[in-house]
Structure 1
Amino acid sequence: MEYRRVGDSGLVVSELAFGTATFGGVGEFFGAWGATDVTEARRLIDICRDAGVTLLDTADVYSQGRSEEVLGAAIRGRRDDFVLSTKAALPMSDRPDDVGVSRSRLLRVVDDALRRLGTDHIDLFSLHGFDASTPVDEVLATLDSLVAAGKIRYTGVSNFSGWQVMQSLAHADRDRRPRHIAHQVYYSLVGRDYEWELMPLGAAEGVGAIVWSPLGWGRLTGKITAGQPIPPGSRLHTTADAGPPVDDDLLHEVIDTLTDIAAETGRTVPQIALNWLLRRPTVSSVIVGARTEAQLLDNLGAVGWELDAEQIRRLDHVSAVEAPYPYFPYRRQEGFARLSPPMV
């Protein structure tokens, strides 16, 4: 396991992180992801610790807070072995004051997360989405006070657009408040939109990517093949419409190439897909999730080796799609590319 700084900060995390959205099993949506209880969670985290994983990721909305509770119980007595990351912003109920990141709600949800996790501080606290109804200065001032109080060590964002990230960074710089160090983003071989704007922004501003759903919302597990139905037991049966869309032709071409490279290397399809991501610019950590020990061990096998240059070229080629305006001139036209060469 390698360890990396998150962006330009001093926070060091493992290159693979363990995501706990499968903990708890509360509600139809997250219940389809998994229902890991405390005993099972403790065993999975034991495996992670033995493999060198330090970063554990959750969110208040995962199983209505139950994921945080299970995670907190599973690491009791060894909290200092891990870097804890959680998120808030999405609604936890139908109450009008129970959504977003206003000052009053931020103060409340951070205290709730600390209680559920059984800790006195959160290492990385991220805004789970952009709250258009709360002034950015109010958000940053509240986060600053939480950092000063020792309840949060570092802050980040998740699922922001480029201008939303830059607005927060610019206001933080102007007022000398802590900058966001991380952007938790969707990025995979069947979803490379992150590269168009958010990757160069991260490189220029020192914001590290923490990647969620690196296996394309469960599509790159090796269980899906062209012309075959979604296998029984897959969460795609109930959650496919909620995740990032993927063109079927692109998916099948990527899977075919992953399968070929897996056969060449003796690795599995998920391991190939994860290893490709770990070599991308700005990536600080890649979150893997698992409902079983076998799934987790397979995902952890993505580190400690590298694809060769030709295999990377094939994956780059088969997964490439046309960028939208204003990005495509910089990828297709020599003059624009000379002005601002694409990072990948």
Structure 2
Amino acid sequence: MNYRLLGRTGVRVSPLCMGTMTFGDSADEAESAKMFARCREVGINFFDCANGYAGGRSEIILGKLIADCRDEVVITSKSGFPQSDGVNDKGSSRRHLQLQVEKSLKRLNTDRIDVYFIHRFDPDTPIEAVVRTLDDLVQQGKILYPAISNWAAWQIMKALGVAAYQGLARAEVLQPMYSLVKRQAEVEILPLAQAEGLGVIPYSPLGGGLLTGKYTTTQKAEDGRLVQNKMYSIRYGDAYNYQVAEAFTQYAADKGYTPATLAVAWVMSNPAVTAAIVGARSVAQLESSLAALDVPMTPEWRAEISALSATPPPATDRSEEAK
């Protein structure tokens, strides 16, 4: 395993991060344990979680699984999305973050969370207040590295500026959506990460399952998130995404790889990416993502795959200046 530095933290992590959203949900505890064991067998030391995954069960299961190897693994968690109908049980207020960190620590059965993400931008809480709260949590030893997911580049940069100006702990890791059918992160977020020395662990490298070969412009699977989950059907529902998926599936077959393997390898090969987050409902499903570790992706090969989907325009929208 070729471990990579996670931004400027000095921490080395595997280029694949196991996402645990299925733990306690579509994967029961026994299957989750098998997937965790398989990840550890191949050298994965990075596991991503969140307070709301499976209503908290994902953290509980992950906590049990890391009990005898806690110091050998790097774990993440997140907060920000509503956890109940409670009027204050959401967002990034000091009150909510403090409560959610405490609850996550208890479920994970650990004394610290290595990387703690603000799961999404909270328009009701000033960025300055969020940065201060995260710094306090670092000072308390409850989290080691603040992190950000699903923020715009200007929001991330403002948070970094506030931290620098006030001498507070800054966000060290970003978690954007990124795949061959969702390339918006290439415009500003990934360049920002490279310029500021931030770790990047993208989620949904398979486009919610769209890049697994199950979907074409004329055929849709009867099950899976793209069919059963409204959020995913909206996110990836554009007909163009299915055209890209169909072309990519054929391309992968011509190269002798499963689409899932090649899709993950493509995300991993971006120079700004530290680790791609992969998820699965079973060990059998996980294997195609693990196989990405052995794909000899080159810049030329990556460019060939990239050409299967549209490169997003530059931030200025002056497409004529794009290189």
Residues 244-276 of structure 1, C-alpha deviation per residue, up to 9 Å, x if partnerless?
A: 235323432343234323332x32111111111
**Letter of the aligned partner of 2:70 in structure 1?**
R
**Letter of the aligned partner of 2:109 in structure 1?**
G
List structure 1 segments (4+ residues) > 6 angstroms apart after TM superposition.
Answer: none
Structure 2, unpaired ranges of 5+: none
Other-structure match for 1:257: 248
Check the 8 A contact 1:157/1:182 in 2, yes or no. yes
Check the 8 A contact 2:163/2:170 in 1, yes or no. yes
Corresponding residue to 2:134 among 131, 136, 143: 143
How far off its partner does 1:148 sit? Answer: 1.4
Residues 236 and 254 (structure 1 numbering): CA distance in 2 closer, same or farther, change over 3 Å?
A: closer
Other-structure match for 2:302: 312
Task: State which drifts further: 87-96 or 310-319.
Answer: 310-319
Check the 8 A contact 1:38/1:71 in 2, yes or no. no
Check the 8 A contact 2:7/2:198 in 1, yes or no. yes
How far off its partner does 1:209 sit? Answer: 1.5
User: Where does 1:65-76 land on structure 2 (aligned, <5 Å)?
Assistant: 65-76=56-67
**Letter of the aligned partner of 2:251 in structure 1?**
D
How far off its partner does 1:238 sit? Answer: 1.6
- Scaled by the length of structure 1, what TM-score is found? 0.88
User: Where does 1:1-344 land on structure 2 (aligned, <5 Å)?
Assistant: 1-25=1-25, 34=26, 36-228=27-219, 230-242=220-232, 244-264=235-255, 266-308=256-298, 310-323=300-313, 326-329=315-318, 332-333=319-320, 336-337=321-322
CA distance in 2, matches of 1:12, 1:3: 6
How far off its partner does 1:13 sit? Answer: 1.2
Residues 24-48 of structure 1, C-alpha deviation per residue, up to 9 Å, x if partnerless?
A: 22xxxxxxxx1x2322211110000
CA distance in 2, matches of 1:240, 1:298: 25
SS in 2 for 1:284: coil
CA distance in 1, matches of 2:10, 2:253: 36
SS in 2 for 1:318: coil
Check the 8 A contact 1:196/1:327 in 2, yes or no. no
Residues 200 and 310 (structure 1 numbering): CA distance in 2 closer, same or farther, change over 3 Å?
A: closer
How far off its partner does 1:151 sit? Answer: 1.0
Residues 181 and 276 (structure 1 numbering): CA distance in 2 closer, same or farther, change over 3 Å?
A: same
Residues 208-229 of structure 1, C-alpha deviation per residue, up to 9 Å, x if partnerless?
A: 221100001110112222311x
**Letter of the aligned partner of 2:87 in structure 1?**
P
Residues 148-206 of structure 1, C-alpha deviation per residue, up to 9 Å, x if partnerless?
A: 12111111000000111011100000011111011101000011010111111111112
CA distance in 1, matches of 2:137, 2:241: 44
Check the 8 A contact 1:258/1:315 in 2, yes or no. no
CA distance in 2, matches of 1:37, 1:248: 34
The number of aligned residues is 322
Structure 1, unpaired ranges of 5+: 26-33
**Letter of the aligned partner of 1:295 in structure 2?**
Q
CA distance in 1, matches of 2:241, 2:98: 44
**Identity of matched residues, %:** 38
Check the 8 A contact 2:247/2:308 in 1, yes or no. no
How far off its partner does 1:80 sit? Answer: 2.0
Residues 171 and 308 (structure 1 numbering): CA distance in 2 closer, same or farther, change over 3 Å?
A: closer
